[in-house]
A and B are shown apart, each in its own frame.
Chain A
Amino acid sequence: MIRNSKGLHVPEPGCRPGEEPDFSHVEVPPAGEVVRPPVTVSAAEIRDHAFRLIRVLDDNGMACGDWNPALSPDMLLKGLRAMMLTRAYDARMVRVQRQGKTSFYMKCTGEEAVAVAATMALRHEDMCFPTYRQQGILLARDWPMVDMMNQVYSNSQDRLKGRQMPVFYSSREAGFFSISGNLGTQYSQAVGWAMAAAADGDERISTAWIGEGATAEGDFHHALTFASVYRAPCILNIVNNQWAISSFSGIAGGEATTFAARGLGFGIPSLRVDGNDFLAVYAVTAWAAERARTGHGPTLIELFTYRAEGHSTSDDPTRYRPSTEAGAWPLGDPLERLKRHLIVAGHWSEEQHQALAKELDEEVRAAGKLSESYGTLKEGDRWPASTMFDDVYRDMPAHLVAQRRQAGV
Chain B
Amino acid sequence: MPTMSMIEAINSAMDVALGLDPDVMIFGQDIGYFGGVFRATDKLQQRHGKQRIFDAPISEGGIVAAAVGMGAYGKRPVVEIQFADYIYPATDQIISEAARMRYRTGGEWWSPITIRSPYGGGIFGGQTHSQSPEGIFTHVAGLKIAIPSNPYDAKGLLIAAIEDDDPVLFFEPKRLYNGPFDGHHDRPVRNWAGHNDAEVPEGHYVVPLGKARRVREGGEVTILAYGTMVHVALCAAEETGIDAEIIDLRTLVPLDLDSITESVRKTGRCVVVHEATRTSGFGAELAAQVQEHCFFALEAPVERVTGWDTPYPHAFEWEYFPGPARVGEALKRVVNI
Residues from chain A with Cβ under 8 Å of B56 in the complex = 226
Which stretch, A73-81, A303-311, A387-395, touches the partner chain B?
A387-395
Greatest chain A CB density within 10 A among B51, B96, B104, B254 is at B104
Contact A392 B66 (CB under 8 A): no
A158 to chain B, nearest CB (A): 8
Which A residues, 123 to 169, have Cβ-Cβ distances below 8 Å to chain B?
127, 129, 158-161, 163-164, 168
> Could you give, for residues 381-409 of chain A, a 1 whenever the CB lies within 8 Å of some chain B CB and a 0 otherwise?
00000000011111001110000000000
Residues from chain B with Cβ under 8 Å of A47 in the complex = none
B interface, size bucket: 35 or more
Residue A97, interface by CB 8 Å: no
Contact A393 B142 (CB under 8 A): yes
Which B residues, 68 to 103, have Cβ-Cβ distances below 8 Å to chain A?
68-70, 72-75, 77, 89, 92-93, 96-97, 101-103
For the complex, give the distance between the alpha carbons of A313 and B62 in Å: 32
B126 to chain A, nearest CB (A): 25
For the complex, give the distance between the alpha carbons of A229 and B73 in Å: 19
A214 to chain B, nearest CB (A): 12
Residues from chain B with Cβ under 8 Å of A199 in the complex = 25, 51-52, 75
Q: A180-B97, A199-B52 are in contact. Are A192 and B65 (CB under 8 A)?
A: yes
B214 to chain A, nearest CB (A): 19
Residue A197, interface by CB 8 Å: yes
Contact A397 B210 (CB under 8 A): yes
Contact B75 A196 (CB under 8 A): yes
Residues from chain B with Cβ under 8 Å of A229 in the complex = 57
Residue B336, interface by CB 8 Å: no
Residues from chain B with Cβ under 8 Å of A399 in the complex = 254-255, 257
Residues from chain A with Cβ under 8 Å of B92 in the complex = 182, 185, 219
Complex partner residue of A222 from B61, B103, B164, CB under 8 angstroms? B61
For the complex, give the distance between the alpha carbons of A163 and B141 in Å: 14
Residues from chain A with Cβ under 8 Å of B73 in the complex = 127, 192-193, 196-197
> Could you give, for residues 36-78 of chain B, a 1 whenever the CB lies within 8 Å of some chain A CB and a 0 otherwise?
0000000000000001100011010110011111101111010
Q: Which residue of B lies closest to A393 (CB)?
A: B166
Complex partner residue of A178 from B51, B75, B105, B165, CB under 8 angstroms? B105
Tell me the B residues contacting A by CB distance below 8 Å: 25, 51-52, 56-57, 59, 61-62, 65-70, 72-75, 77, 89, 92-93, 96-97, 101-110, 141-142, 144, 164-166, 210, 253-255, 257
30 contacting pairs across A/B (C-beta < 8 A): A163-B103, A170-B109, A172-B108, A178-B101, A185-B65, A188-B66, A192-B68, A192-B73, A196-B73, A196-B75, A199-B51, A206-B69, A218-B61, A219-B61, A219-B93, A221-B59, A222-B61, A222-B65, A226-B59, A226-B65, A226-B66, A391-B107, A392-B102, A392-B103, A393-B102, A394-B166, A397-B210, A397-B253, A398-B257, A399-B257
